[in-house]
Amino acid sequence: MGRISVSLPIKVNGTFRVRDRKVAKRLIDELERVGERISPFDEVFGIWADRKETSEELTRRLRDRNNRRNG
């Protein structure tokens, strides 16, 4: 038994069970044809998108803040 998550550009919620293997395979084939496969990292990186700070500046600021708490 497998699970997939699909994000849609419309307001909808639901949980479905597909019992037929052939139908499930066709559904996956169609999703791969029309959808964009994403990884869990895409959401994590999205949090940091459009930041004005460089990764070095952000890292330095986080380390400084952490050092003040521990020092």
Helix residue ranges, H only, 8-54? 21-34, 40-48
Q: Of 45, 41, 51, 38, nearest to 7 (Cα)?
A: 38
What three-state secondary structure class fits 66?
helix
What three-state secondary structure class fits 18?
coil
pLDDT in tens, the chain (71 residues): 888 888 899 999 999 999 999 999 999 999 999 998 887 666 666 666 677 777 788 888 888 888 887 76
Q: What is the pTM of this model?
A: 0.53
Categorise residue 19: left if φ over 0, alpha if ψ from -120 to 50, beta otherwise.
alpha
Do the beta carbons of residue 27 and residue 18 sit within 8 Å?
Answer: yes
